[in-house]
Structure 1
Amino acid sequence: MAAESAQNFEALEAQARALLDLFARAGYEPVAPSIIQPAGVFLDQIGEQVRGRTYVFTDLAGEELCLRPDLTVPVSRLYLERHPKADRPARYCYNGPAFRFQPLGPSRTHPREFRQAGIECFGAADKESADIEIVLLAVGAVRSAGLRDYGLRFGDIALFYALIDALSLPERWRFKLRHYFWRPPVFHALLNRLAKGDRPEGDGLPQVLTAALAGTTPERAEELVAAYLEKQDIPLAGNRTLSEIAERLLDHAADLRADKLPKEVATIIDYYLAVAAPPREAVDKVAMIARGAGLDIDAGLDAALRRFDRLARDGIDLGRAIFATEFGRKLEYYSGLVFQIEGAGLDETEPVAGGGRYDGLLSALGARRDVPAVGSAIHTERLLAAVERAAP
């Protein structure tokens, strides 16, 4: 067992060296961001699906920290440390561990500690070319490691946002639908409820508290929630602060007073999110849905089609690819193109590699404005497993 573990470690190290060498030759500077990161940065940006799996702790000075659950945020922070004005383009590559709790228990393809080898491109003015560069480099990297049997899955957050913005619906529901896009079961339950005009359930909250919160300021809401928790002798637990709990309850109270979502709008969104087909066919289907609904999302459709045409010209076999409108990956900082590479024998939840565009992340981390950014990370344990599985 020890010998097998040592062999696996050596294979991973050899693979990592080869990947980093490939990235460096493509013009990406190797960096090594800190493993321990401020927890608040991650918990605010990565989204619920990864947030609940992040290892969080408090050090002896009382600072809340975490073991990084991915490397995009740490590399983004490193970029801002080097370029506080976020006014210079930069390309970085890395290889290092990340950490996530595995609710079904750790396994070879879902370990608690896993390695990511990746690339991040900041400040490139030509976003389309940067997107193409990242996809080509990620595919080239897994192929260089020996992976031949793989599929590609694409999504486009910006196209979904364009659809939502083109629809006539209450601004509150536009915000909520954008927010819940990354959690399909919750999203569809919300959409179904809104179309029926059903009010949200109270989640066990007493009506008197919900009524008291309606229309109050965040500061007053925090006071009311604190008083309620103290009176009921309910301790704070988990990763949420008192202010976050109050904010969530304020949001719930506002839902109770919001207008109904028109049923025809919900139907259009359902039709859109049901599209999953080869890329050009999928774009045609979305265009047909938009035309039928009288919506103008031509700019987003043209951008998606142009991107796929360029990928095909640059050697990407779109016969291996699916464009799924509901696909957004699990990290909620994405804002445009998203993609993942899926090895044979591994399902959609076990991608070998993935990435996408995240133009809003750096401003959330302190930059004065949004900064064009796109990247990709390879889950090297899965890549090694997929290559070994395919070996004769």
Structure 2
Amino acid sequence: ADAETLALALEATAAFGVQDVEIRTGDVALFNALLDALDLYPVWRRRLVKDFNRKISLEQDLERLAAATTASPSEYEGVLAALAGSDRKAALAFVTDLMSIAGTTNVGGRTTAEIADRFLEQSTLKGGALPREAITVLKRFLSIAGNPDDAIAGLRALTTDAKLDLAAAIDQFESRVGFMAARGIDVKQTRFSTAFGRGLDYYTGFEFELHHRGNGAEPLVAGGRYDRLMTQLGSGEPIPAVGFSVWVDALTRIGRKVGA
């Protein structure tokens, strides 16, 4: 279905006479699988996923997480000490109790859950920095880019060197590439990057954007797999879904220029 969706997206650009299309792809499932394999603290995992989804500089945040923790005292030292070693559920319950005692449900516009996450993050960071070994693996992973075949080779080399099990996620990626080729997509002309994301947190796997070659900012068609979207809208369980959006105005404008 991922491959079919990309093929349909390319048909959409061709329908407007736009043939010189750059295909940019990524796979957030690979990033999530890496975080799982590294067995990071949940706080660190949530923070890195948030950075990835919001297109914040992961490199910069990785360095902040690797830096030595400061010894400067905090007015919340007691709270941070009480949360040391807690999971998110326990932290939320603790902060909910504190907020109830204070007679409020938010502070400065932050919800109880957001405050709990922030306290838990600070508590975890005071307990030690993100391991340098994990930083090294993450940076190497995020540097993998090129055509899909080269990316697969780079990913398998990384898993071997770092002794991590990402086989299922890589196999799924490789299978998708095979289906793309079967759909007539020139895989060698497809640009894949492990750091590519669409900046939306409901994507769960394959992501892509089609650009008119030479236009770096404006996508013509973009989409991917978003199995998590329906749960965010109220579904009790994930529902597999994949699709894309088409910027008709942009395609029309470029199609007219090409045909002129």
Determine the structure 2 residue equivalent to 1:111: none
136, 140, 153: which one pairs with 2:7? 136
SS at match of 1:359: coil
Aligned-partner Cα distance in 2 for 1:337–1:350: 19
Determine the structure 2 residue equivalent to 1:388: 256
Q: Does the CA-based 8 Å contact 2:43-2:117 persist in structure 1?
A: no
Q: Where does 1:266-305 land on structure 2 (aligned, <5 Å)?
A: 266-305=135-174
Determine the structure 1 residue equivalent to 2:221: 353
SS at match of 1:340: strand
Aligned-partner Cα distance in 2 for 1:197–1:263: 11
Q: Deviations over 1:211-268 (max 9, x none)?
A: 3643342352476595996xxxxxx5xxx55546534543443344343221011101
Higher mean C-alpha displacement, 174-183 vs 357-366: 174-183
20, 30, 52: which one pairs with 1:159? 30
Post-superposition offset of 1:162: 1.1
169, 180, 183: which one pairs with 1:311? 180
193, 196, 199: which one pairs with 1:330? 199
Post-superposition offset of 1:342: 0.8
2:173 aligned partner, one-letter code = A
Determine the structure 1 residue equivalent to 2:91: none
TM value normalised by structure 1: 0.57
SS at match of 2:53: coil
365, 369, 372: which one pairs with 2:237? 369
Q: Deviations over 1:112-131 (max 9, x none)?
A: xxxxxxxxxxxxxxxxxx21
Q: Where does 1:83-94 land on structure 2 (aligned, <5 Å)?
A: none
Post-superposition offset of 1:168: 4.0
SS at match of 1:286: helix
Q: Deviations over 1:182-209 (max 9, x none)?
A: 23444322211222333599xxxx932x
Q: Where does 1:8-157 land on structure 2 (aligned, <5 Å)?
A: 130-157=1-28
SS at match of 2:150: helix
Structure 1 pair 326–221 and aligned structure 2 pair: CA distance change class (3 A): farther
Post-superposition offset of 1:310: 1.4
Q: Does the CA-based 8 Å contact 2:203-2:227 persist in structure 1?
A: yes
SS at match of 2:219: coil
Post-superposition offset of 1:174: 2.5
Structure 1 pair 226–305 and aligned structure 2 pair: CA distance change class (3 A): same
Post-superposition offset of 1:358: 1.1
Aligned-partner Cα distance in 1 for 2:37–2:122: 27
Identity of aligned residues (%): 30
Q: Where does 1:174-253 land on structure 2 (aligned, <5 Å)?
A: 174-199=45-70, 207-208=74-75, 210-211=76-77, 213-214=79-80, 215=83, 216-221=94-99, 240-243=109-112, 246-247=115-116, 249-253=118-122
2:133 aligned partner, one-letter code = E
Higher mean C-alpha displacement, 148-157 vs 357-366: 357-366
Structure 1 pair 340–168 and aligned structure 2 pair: CA distance change class (3 A): same
Q: Deviations over 1:312-349 (max 9, x none)?
A: 121112233111000011111101110110112311x3
- Unaligned 5+ segments in structure 1 are 1-129, 230-235
Q: Which has the higher contact order (CA 8 A, sep 6+)?
A: 2
Structure with the larger helix share? 2
1:294 aligned partner, one-letter code = K
SS at match of 1:181: helix
1:331 aligned partner, one-letter code = L
TM value normalised by structure 2: 0.84
Determine the structure 2 residue equivalent to 1:56: none
The number of residues matched between the two structures is 248
344, 347, 350: which one pairs with 2:213? 344
128, 131, 154: which one pairs with 1:262? 131
Aligned-partner Cα distance in 1 for 2:32–2:71: 24
2:189 aligned partner, one-letter code = R
Q: Does the CA-based 8 Å contact 2:4-2:180 persist in structure 1?
A: no
2:16 aligned partner, one-letter code = A
Q: Does the CA-based 8 Å contact 1:193-1:199 persist in structure 2?
A: no
- Unaligned 5+ segments in structure 2 are 84-93
1:146 aligned partner, one-letter code = G
Post-superposition offset of 1:171: 3.4
Aligned-partner Cα distance in 2 for 1:138–1:376: 7
164, 170, 180: which one pairs with 2:41? 170
Q: Does the CA-based 8 Å contact 2:23-2:210 persist in structure 1?
A: yes
